[in-house]
Amino acid sequence: MDAEALCAVQFFLSKPLRQAYVRHMIHSLPLAQAKDLPLWRRPVALLFVTAMAMPIAFYAWYALLNNFVIEAAGFDGADIGLLHTVREIPGFAAIGVIAILLFVREQVLGLVSLALLGVATAFTAWFPHLTGILTLTFLSSLGFHYYETVNQSLQLQWLPKEKAPQMMGWLMGAASATTLVVFVLIVLMWETLNLSYNLVFMAAGLATAVIALASLFIYPQFEAEVPQNKSMVLRKRYWLYYALQFMSGARRQIFMVFAGFMMVERFGFEVHELTGLYLINLVINMIAAPFLGKLVGTYGERKTLIFEYVGLTIVFLAYGGIYWFGWGVLLASILYVIDHILFGFALALKTYFQKIADPADIAPTAAVAFTINHIAAVFLPVLLGLLWVVSPGAVFALAAGMALTSLALSLLIPRHPEPGNETILRKYASAAPAE
């Protein structure tokens, strides 16, 4: 085939794709009109599709990570701390989403980021050494954090306030159900079929990427009722939300980085055993997540977050007791499950912000909040990794202190947060006599 014929073939093959791309990327559909679409093409359906696509890649990676880095690259506590520091750098840089949104729609950015997560996960096992693992981790994390930033923003824009807690609970339940399928397949097939790390990473990553890219063409570009600010937003009245986000990011790192690593390093868990523990988490969360949303809607963000932080304080102190008093693997497994359930209450932090926010601030503040959430995440894993080598119990003691700090902050949330009533301090300030 000569060059001219080849160009003609390429043109005709690509023309339908170009037309589909232009049709979906340029045309936008107001949210008010989306209710006329079939149920499977509405905004909420897209939220469910992406909620179920993301865990395929991310949790396959997460399930295998600790065993993979120890077996393939001989990681120790310091190495795993460094890896998670690298993993959190894109979260710290999530504020860059604001600049990208000047040129790209939120919905498009979210789906492209999800595809990046999938592709980077697919090739993780191709580079079984420190440099390679860190590089692929950074790329997959870039996709994950930018997707999560946009996803949080779209949830708050697309879901009505009165239904948001319940719908977010159902979205969590759907994500848990997908993760459950991933974990079940790993548990049942890892030893039976003698699966390799490369096969699992590749299958899971490509599945997520294909779903994300297909969604770019299947769903219209939904237009929110209130245009979003395209510049960085930092408002004084959001200070409590920022503070809670910072503490959440610092505290969560200890669970994400060291709880699973403890199960492998201290108790010798193998891939199928650690994944089996994740399975228990997922079954419980799949059932509990919709009820968590209902609890937030019934009792409010203040009581829900107080309960979460009291529970986390107890759990982290008990983690420390495993090292201080030699408690066994059964207690460690129970604590791991409880820990995971309590983090589900974090959806109350999203709905708290939805209630106090100017609707135009949601997208830029989601990016700012992700950056704030990851400030501590950039340096804590590597520093705590060094502390872990000396005293693992001290790491969990610090986590308990962080949970107590979050508890103190949550006491400042009013029962009915709204613009002008973001914290109980504003109530007291307005009640003070004028001078």
pLDDT at 224: 75
> Which are the contacts of 91, defined by CB distance < 8 A and separation ≥ 6?
141, 145, 249, 370, 371, 373, 374, 377, 378
Asked whether residue 426 is domain-assigned, the answer is yes
Indicate whether 10 pLDDT > 70.
no
Indicate whether 21 pLDDT > 70.
no
pLDDT at 19: 53
pLDDT at 86: 83
pLDDT at 434: 41
Question: DSSP states of 328-382 as a string?
Answer: -HHHHHHHHHHHHHHHGGGHHHHHHHHHHS-GGGHHHHHHHHHHHHTHHHHHHHH
Residue type, 433: P
pLDDT at 31: 72
What is the percentage of the chain residues whose pLDDT exceeds 90? 22
Q: What is the mean pLDDT of the chain?
A: 82
Indicate whether 88 pLDDT > 50.
yes
Condensed to tens digits (0 to 9), the pLDDT of residues 251-286 reads 777 777 777 778 887 888 776 777 677 778 778 878
Give the pLDDT band of residue 110 (cuts 50, 70, 90): very high
User: Which one of 111-125, 244-258, 374-388 scores highest in mean pLDDT?
Assistant: 111-125
Give the pLDDT band of residue 312 (cuts 50, 70, 90): very high
Asked whether residue 14 is domain-assigned, the answer is no
What is the percentage of the chain residues whose pLDDT exceeds 70? 90
- Report the domain count for the chain: 1
User: Which one of 4-13, 268-277, 307-316 scores highest in mean pLDDT?
Assistant: 307-316
Asked whether residue 6 is domain-assigned, the answer is no
Give the pLDDT band of residue 48 (cuts 50, 70, 90): very high
pLDDT at 26: 53
Give the pLDDT band of residue 112 (cuts 50, 70, 90): very high
Asked whether residue 21 is domain-assigned, the answer is no
Could you tell me which of 322, 341, 369 has the C-alpha nearest to residue 278? Answer: 341
Asked whether residue 22 is domain-assigned, the answer is no
pLDDT at 87: 82
Condensed to tens digits (0 to 9), the pLDDT of residues 214-232 reads 999 889 888 877 777 777 7
Please count the other Cβ atoms lying within 10 Å of the Cβ belonging to residue 177: 18
Domain that holds residue 205: 34-431
> Which are the contacts of 220, defined by CB distance < 8 A and separation ≥ 6?
24, 27, 28, 29, 34, 37, 41
Average pLDDT estimate for 277-304: 84
pLDDT at 433: 45
- Partnered with residue 30 across adjacent β-strands are 223
Asked whether residue 4 is domain-assigned, the answer is no
CATH number of the domain where residue 427 is located: 1.20.1250.20
The H-or-E segment that residue 221 falls in is strand 221-223
Higher local confidence (pLDDT), 33 or 323: 323
- Partnered with residue 223 across adjacent β-strands are 30
Indicate whether 206 pLDDT > 90.
yes
Average pLDDT estimate for 17-32: 59
Which two structure tokens, joined as six digits, stand for 235? 């408002």
Could you give the CA distance from residue 163 to residue 22 in angstroms, rounded to a whole number? 33
Could you tell me which of 279, 363, 343, 305 has the C-alpha nearest to residue 55? Answer: 279
Which two structure tokens, joined as six digits, stand for 137? 């981790």
Higher local confidence (pLDDT), 315 or 35: 315
Indicate whether 9 pLDDT > 60.
no
CA distances from 19 to 11, 26, 111, 222, 277 (A): 12, 11, 19, 19, 47
30: helix, strand or coil: strand
Higher local confidence (pLDDT), 147 or 41: 147
Could you give the CA distance from residue 413 to residue 404 in angstroms, rounded to a whole number? 15
Indicate whether 5 pLDDT > 70.
no
Do 228 and 362 meet the contact criterion of CB atoms below 8 Å apart?
yes
Asked whether residue 320 is domain-assigned, the answer is yes
Asked whether residue 185 is domain-assigned, the answer is yes
Average pLDDT estimate for 355-364: 86
Burial environment of residue 338 by CB neighbours within 10 A (0 to 12, 13 to 18, 19 or more): middle
